Amino acid sequence: MAMISFSLPSPAKLPISSRPSIPNRVNVADRLILRHLNAGDLRGAISALNLMAHDGIRPTDTVTFSSLLKSCIRAREFRLGKLVHARLTEFEIEFDSVLYNSLISLYSKSGDLARAVDVFETMGRFSKRDVVSWSAMMDCFANSGREIDAIKLFVGFLEMGLVPNDYCYTAVIRACSNSEFVSVGRILRFFMKTGHFDSDVCVTVWVAL
């Protein structure tokens, strides 16, 4: 009996597009900026960010923007840091606590206390404050000659049941270096040695103030 065979036509080959997809282009944006930063080329990274924004391409990884902000702070290029903040707003990036903390640090070190407070208050509306956020804001107040606000913020921090870290201690003790608040500093140092903070600490500090 003769065998009957069927042959199917070969599948058509789809044309390969030379134009990358949007997600790939976004990936490239993040990698390109970080490549500039790793090479120590902050201005190159900012230029790449601006060029891509002009072309409608935007980084989506918050790590990219956080790295940009931290590089601006280290280089004391505060004007560039504010430009990055503007791009963040323009791109409608969802902020995380790391981004917020970087912005507090940026405005604190540039001497713009009002903007730092605004960022801190915005974090509270989205429940994104962490110990670093509180500590950075205390440090900002202390550096701006607003020692009493730094101390009050520390007390508010304790009243929320949060546990201070070394950076937090350093910020509030710096605020107590003002002769007007030496007694508060002594109280805090005493409780720091015991490692025990409770409502009694808050009451004692309020009385001392």
* Tens-digit pLDDT profile for residues 162-180: 888 888 888 888 888 877 8
Does 160 reside within a domain? no
Distance separating alpha carbons of residues 154 and 179, to the nearest angstrom = 18
Q: Where are the beta strands (DSSP E) in 6-157?
A: none
Burial of residue 61 (number of CB atoms within 10 Å: 0-12, 13-18, 19+): middle
Distance separating alpha carbons of residues 33 and 65, to the nearest angstrom = 9
What is the total residue count of the chain?
Answer: 209
- Comparing 36 with 13, which gets the higher pLDDT? 36
Does 194 reside within a domain? no
pTM, rounded to two decimals = 0.78
- Comparing 36 with 159, which gets the higher pLDDT? 36
Count of domains observed in the chain? 1
User: What's the token pair of residue 182?
Assistant: 């030496």
Does 154 reside within a domain? no
Does 197 reside within a domain? no
Local confidence band at 65 (pLDDT 50, 70, 90 cut-offs) = very high
pLDDT at 1: 44
Does 52 reside within a domain? yes
Q: Which domain holds residue 62?
A: 23-93
Distance separating alpha carbons of residues 134 and 31, to the nearest angstrom = 31
Distance separating alpha carbons of residues 189 and 142, to the nearest angstrom = 17
Mean pLDDT of the chain: 82
Does 66 reside within a domain? yes
Least reliable range by pLDDT among 129-138, 182-191, 199-208: 199-208
94, pLDDT greater than 60: yes
User: What's the token pair of residue 130?
Assistant: 């962490």
- Comparing 208 with 82, which gets the higher pLDDT? 82
Sole residue written with tokens 């304790």: 158
Per 3-state DSSP, the chain is made up of helix, strand and coil in percentages (nearest 5) of 70, 0, 30
Question: What share of the chain in percent tops pLDDT 90?
Answer: 47
- Collect all residues with Cβ–Cβ distance below 8 Å to 9 and sequence separation of at least 6: none
Q: Where are the beta strands (DSSP E) in 118-185?
A: none
Does 104 reside within a domain? no
Sole residue written with tokens 């069927």: 6
Does 108 reside within a domain? no
Question: Which of 7-11, 71-75, 181-185, 204-208 is most confident?
Answer: 71-75
CA-based diameter of the chain, in Å? 110
